[in-house]
């Protein structure tokens, strides 16, 4: 029987509560679909930082390298200055493990309310492939004359052809395998590049040339579109049905995926994967630690459950992943009153039970 070694990092705030439900669903799936999970918990997060001053040490990264996958709850603590834990844990893991893809499905599940008038699950059904290793996230830059009236701050967007090409390759392959034609819900598989070629004439010029070269040569079966990032924000609201697979740089990807998340029902449901297709990937609900709901049993665990679902898909347990996907859809369509914390009509662990029971059926 196949055994997956999974590092579990519940983290801060409501992270442990939602992670417990994701693990519950994983256990139901492994019992049903004939694989095993070997879970090891790590306490990286705000409490540990307060106790020891340590975020994610290099020795922790070396530990994490030994796993097949990482399941993360949430990082962020009200007593810790913003940036320390995000940079020291989340971004450190992404960079040290070279998780160069951030995969963010934007899918509206049945029964879930969207702020987009007149749009439903058929229209809101696309995926953002966000490059996750470069851009303004590399920390390239600095200050001169800091603290004076003449202070200058520079923070550069950085991309190498290598980074761009490996991301585009992933995105084209993803569009071929999971695009709208491949899923039987459209007539073609489309990859759209989201950029800003009218102003960022170096960075997105590189992206655009690499995009068309690779598409022409290796992926002639995939339709290529291009949108400026500002216009993309408009169309994500007005005509989300135009999109299939989008690919973009790290910073634009960060911004547009939060817009995407709110159109799919918000932080209760949105999940993301930090992928190293050749190494160790890390899956997370994107909502954060929600300190004000900590310990109340009211937070929605579906995003964490969807993160576990994505993890199984990437690990190759496609049947189990599909079953969890269907179970979550059943629960949103037939059970939950709302996705919002405290308004679901069920407690956190009851929602986990509802999904786990569906998976076990
Ligand atoms: C995300 C988050 C992170 C990012 C933060 C917490 C560093 O916003 O995963 O989208 O900017 O990538
Ligand atoms: Mn973000």
Instruction: Dump pLDDT digits (tens) for 168-191.
Output: 999 999 999 999 999 999 999 999
Ligand 2 centre from 161 Cα, in Å?
Answer: 24
| Distance in Å, CA 341 to ligand 1 centroid | 21
Query: Quick one: which of 286, 266, 316, 280 has its CA closest to 124?
Result: 266
Pocket test for ligand 1, best of 90, 131, 132, 138 (most atoms within 8 A of CB): 90
Ligand sitting nearest the alpha carbon of 283: 1
Distance CA 130, CA 277 (A): 14
The answer, yes or no, to whether residue 107 has pLDDT greater than 90, is yes
Domain hosting residue 170, numbered range: 114-123+132-264
**What is the four-CA torsion angle of 37, 41, 45, 47, rounded to 10 degrees?**
150
Structure tokens at 182: 């491949």
- pLDDT category of residue 6 using cuts at 50, 70 and 90: very high
Are 227 and 270 in a shared domain?
no
Mapped onto helix, strand or coil, the DSSP state of residue 122 is coil
Q: Identify the domain boundary among 210, 236, 264.
A: 264
**DSSP string spanning 272-335?**
EEEE-TTS-EEEEETT---GGGTTSS-S--HHHHHHHHHHHHHHT-HHHHHHHHHHHHHHHHHT
| Residue bearing the bigger pLDDT, 1 or 229 | 229
Domain count along the chain: 2
Q: Is 17 in the pocket of ligand 1 (CB under 6 A)?
A: no
Contact at 8 Å (CB) between 237 and 263? yes
Of all atoms in ligand 1, which is nearest to the CA of residue 284? 9
Specify the residue with its C-alpha closest to ligand 1, atom 9: 286
CATH of the domain at 27: 3.40.718.10
The CB of 135 under 6 Å from ligand 1? The reply is no
The closest ligand to the CA of 273 turns out to be 1
Place of tokens 């040569």: 217
Residue 249 has pLDDT above 90, yes or no: yes
- 259 shares a domain with 148: yes
State whether 326 and 236 are in the same domain.
Answer: no
Atom of ligand 1 nearest to the CA of 288: 6
Q: Where are the alpha helices (DSSP H) in the chain?
A: 15-33, 46-52, 58-64, 84-85, 92-96, 161-178, 203-218, 229-238, 250-263, 302-315, 318-334, 348-360
User: Is the same domain home to 209 and 142?
Assistant: yes
pLDDT for 93: 97
Question: What pLDDT is recorded for position 273?
Answer: 98
Same domain, 273 and 239: no
229 shares its domain with 300: no
Q: Calculate how far, in angstroms, residue 87's C-alpha sits from the geometric centre of ligand 1.
A: 9
| pLDDT tens-digit series, residues 59-85 | 999 999 999 999 999 999 999 999 999
Boundary residue ending a domain (229, 264, 299): 264
Do 169 and 51 fall into the same domain? no
Enter the pTM of the model. 0.97
Q: Are residues 137 and 174 in the same domain?
A: yes
What pLDDT shows up at residue 87?
94
* pLDDT for the residue numbered 88: 96
| Same-domain check for residues 118 and 260 | yes
Residue 240 has pLDDT above 90, yes or no: yes
pLDDT score for 120: 98
**Residues 65 and 207 grouped into a single domain:** no
Question: Is any atom of ligand 1 closer than 6 Å to the C-beta of 255?
Answer: no
Tokens at residue 195, please?
């950029």
Same domain (yes/no): 167, 222: yes
In degrees and rounded to multiples of 5, residue 266 shows phi and psi of 95, -165
- Angle (CA) 357-298-303 rounded to 5° is 60
- 23 class by beta-carbon count within 10 Å (0-12 exposed, 13-18 middle, 19+ buried): buried
Q: What is the DSSP string of 24-57?
A: HHHHHHHHHHT-EEEEEE---SHHHHHHHS-SS-
CA atoms of 130 and 128, how far apart (whole Å) = 6
Cβ–ligand 1 contact at 103 (below 6 Å): no
Pocket test for ligand 1, best of 91, 132, 252 (most atoms within 8 A of CB): 91
Cα 149 to middle of ligand 2, angstroms? 32
pLDDT band at 41 (very low <50, low <70, confident <90, very high): very high
Domain final residue, candidates 234, 264, 294: 264
Rounded Cα gap, residues 102 and 275, in angstroms: 6
pLDDT category, 95, cuts 50, 70, 90? very high
For ligand 1, atom 1, the nearest C-alpha belongs to 254
The rounded percent of the chain whose pLDDT value lies above 90 is 99
Region 268-294: what's the mean pLDDT?
95
pLDDT of residue 144: 98
Averaged pLDDT score across all residues of the chain: 97
pLDDT of residue 339: 95
How many angstroms is it from 347 CA to the middle of ligand 1?
27
- The label of the residue with tokens 């709302």 reads 338
- Is there an atom of ligand 1 within 6 Å of 71 CB? no
Same domain? For 57 and 177 the reply is no
Over residues 327-354, the mean pLDDT reads 97
Q: How far is the CA of 351 from the centre of ligand 2 (A)?
A: 25
What mean pLDDT comes out for the span 236-255?
Answer: 98
Ligand 1 nearest-atom number relative to CA 75: 6
- Confidence category of residue 287, pLDDT binned at 50, 70, 90: confident
């Amino acid at each position: 029987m196949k055994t997956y070694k999974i590092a579990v990092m519940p983290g801060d705030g409501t992270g442990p509560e939602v992670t417990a439900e994701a693990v519950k669903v994983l256990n139901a799936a492994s019992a049903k679909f004939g694989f095993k999970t070997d879970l090891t918990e790590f306490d990286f997060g705000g409490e540990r930082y307060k106790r020891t001053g340590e975020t994610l040490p290099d020795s922790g990264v070396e530990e994490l390298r030994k796993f097949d996958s990482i399941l993360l709850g949430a990082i962020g603590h009200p007593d810790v200055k913003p940036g320390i834990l995000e940079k020291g844990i989340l971004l450190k893991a992404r960079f040290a493990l070279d998780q160069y893809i951030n995969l963010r499905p934007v899918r509206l599940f049945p029964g879930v309310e969207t702020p987009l008038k007149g749009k439903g699950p058929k229209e809101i059904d696309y995926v953002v492939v966000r490059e996750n290793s470069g851009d303004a996230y590399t920390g390239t830059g600095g200050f001169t004359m800091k603290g004076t009236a003449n202070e200058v701050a520079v923070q550069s967007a950085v991309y190498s052809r290598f980074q761009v090409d490996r991301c585009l390759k992933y995105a084209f392959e993803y569009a071929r395998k999971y695009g709208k034609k491949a899923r039987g819900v459209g007539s073609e598989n489309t990859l759209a590049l989201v950029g800003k070629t009218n102003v960022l004439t170096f960075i997105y010029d590189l992206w655009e040339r690499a995009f068309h070269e690779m598409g022409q040569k290796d992926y002639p079966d995939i339709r290529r579109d291009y949108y400026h990032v500002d216009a993309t924000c408009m169309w994500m609201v007005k005509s989300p049905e135009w999109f299939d697979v989008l690919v973009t740089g790290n910073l634009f990807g960060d911004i547009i995926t939060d817009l995407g998340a709110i159109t799919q029902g918000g932080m209760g449901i949105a999940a993301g994967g930090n992928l190293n297709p050749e190494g160790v990937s890390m899956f997370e609900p994107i909502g954060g630690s929600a300190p004000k709901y900590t310990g109340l049993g009211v937070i929605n665990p579906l995003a964490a459950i969807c993160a576990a679902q994505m993890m199984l898909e990437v690990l190759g347990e496609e049947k189990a992943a599909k079953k969890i996907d269907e179970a979550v859809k059943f629960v949103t369509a037939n059970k939950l009153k709302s996705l919002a914390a405290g308004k679901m009509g069920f407690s956190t662990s009851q929602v986990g039970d509802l999904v786990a029971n569906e998976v076990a059926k």
